[in-house]
Structure 1
Amino acid sequence: MFQANMTSVTIFFFLGFSHYPKVEVIIFVLCLLMYLSTLLGNIILISITILDSHLHTPMYFFLSNLSCLDICYTSSAFPPMLTNFVSGKNTTSFFGCAAQMYFSLAMGSTECVLLSMMAYDRYVAICNPLRYPIIMNRKVCVQIAAGSWATGCLTALVETVSVLQLSLCGNSVINHFACEILAVLKLVCVDTFMVQLIMLVITILLVPMPMLLICISYAFILSNILRISSANGRSKAFSTCAAHLTVVVLFYGTALSMYLKPSAVDSQEIDKFMALVYGGLTPMLNPIIYSLRNKEVKAAVKKLLIRKSLVLS
């Protein structure tokens, strides 16, 4: 069978949702709305975090990083998909595919690490409130955020390079709407054992291990909350963690279902719809979850709106 090094392939073709012509337009409209909502919600959250001095805390610093990640992650997949749908081409260049694969992996991996660090931040805030400003000082927060970004970017580089150097079986049709790494691996005709092993190791490091850290952090948090005598104190402590836990469940739930499912399960069609949830719905819901359940964010938005109305008047 004809084999070609992946670097000799100049164009990849996406099947996208062409198998579902009756709902393709509906999917396009939903994806467009999700992307615009993601941009709007996360930009607003970043803006109020920067503009309101009361939100210059570690929690909102990490939340701004999360919003930035969500914007970058969604932008790596949705705009090219929407453009391809409008143009009817459904193609991408080799370098475009490589960039898309890298950025989606980098942003997703960074978010895995960052969410676990946010759980640690909540642990320190609730279990060691008096030492919180000392432990989570500005330098430490910057180092944690930088470490999360560096980890995600480096692991994504390893995965992307390991896949793109493999040989194809004369096929450049990707059964997906983006250059998702598992979909690209389906085109490879050589042994992928080493690549899959690398991906498995990285996935275990970036998904179950951060999840374990999150579980341990919240076990201590729950134990500490239950010892609080006042009902109001318990309610306030729970409310600071509820939004983060909701985001964690959404993000890790879809990630685990995609990347740690049994190898015998060949469900590329299901993976495409899961990718919409993983790459579109979750980033869109994150700012909504944090703002709706957070009095400080709502108060900051009201303050900015009042300030703007006074300036305009």
Structure 2
Amino acid sequence: MLLAAVSLMLAGCFLSPGKFTSELALTGGDRFTFTYDGEIFFLGLSKLAQMGAAAEETFTPESCLSDEAFEPRECTSEELAAQREAWEEGAAERAAERKKQAEQMAALMGGINPEDPKAADELTKLLLRHKGWEQVEHLGDGLFRVRYRISGTLAHDFMFPVIEGFPATNPFVQTFVRKNGQVRINAPGFAVQGPDSMMGGMMGGMGALAGMGAMSGASGSDGEAMAAGMPKLEGTFTIRTTGTMPIRANNTDDGPTATTTGQVLTWPVSSRTSQIPTALIDLGS
């Protein structure tokens, strides 16, 4: 299970939204304001990523099979002793592998060791050090409550979140500025089921992490307990324009809504969301 968690982090799937509201306001010319208010889940700081290491420190005998029908049977004391001896002999190798995996996760988290009891505090300080992060609170088990707000110009591409020392491979929202004065806005972090979503192509979305219970042989209450460690994806993503900014394309259900100052696009987001919210907007002159 720890290996599965590390593999997800190496693939760039190490953080995800929980409950949130987010808005990108295009305020005229190439000006914008982006906000994200809600939860962010860091896989590397969760119990899910640490369960494998804890399990490896407990000897669990394997089933023995009968010679005739190859059906499970009770192991003899000699067989149990042989299994324990083999498990103890592999202790050094398991410790080395855990150290390697911890180093891999630390490299993906700006040098923060996820096994350090103060790791959450270090990450909180790291985020608050940077512009835009107005509030960061660790709720426990890798889940943070944050408030982020930043304003700027679309003279270049933009992505959220960007964290110092973290790979820039896990975006919730991206903007791509084109030479013709248009901006493409994608929100890959706000979809979990579709093949084009941030994680859908690899594991069917963040919700599939709960399936690691089955991968490790856990079932019933064990699998449910592991699934309980994952945040519920639930929120709203809004794009708000000011003035006359033609919306060239979007994949909302109802299209843009006119306001007294411009237009609004709104996407409700949940664990059933199958399409990445996307829009193409002409910024105008």
Report which of the two has the higher share of helix.
Answer: 1
Structure (1/2) with the larger strand percentage: 2
- Structure number with greater Rg is 2
TM-score by length of 1: 0.23
Q: Of the two structures, which has the highest relative contact order with CA contacts closer than 8 Å and spacing of 6 or more?
A: 1
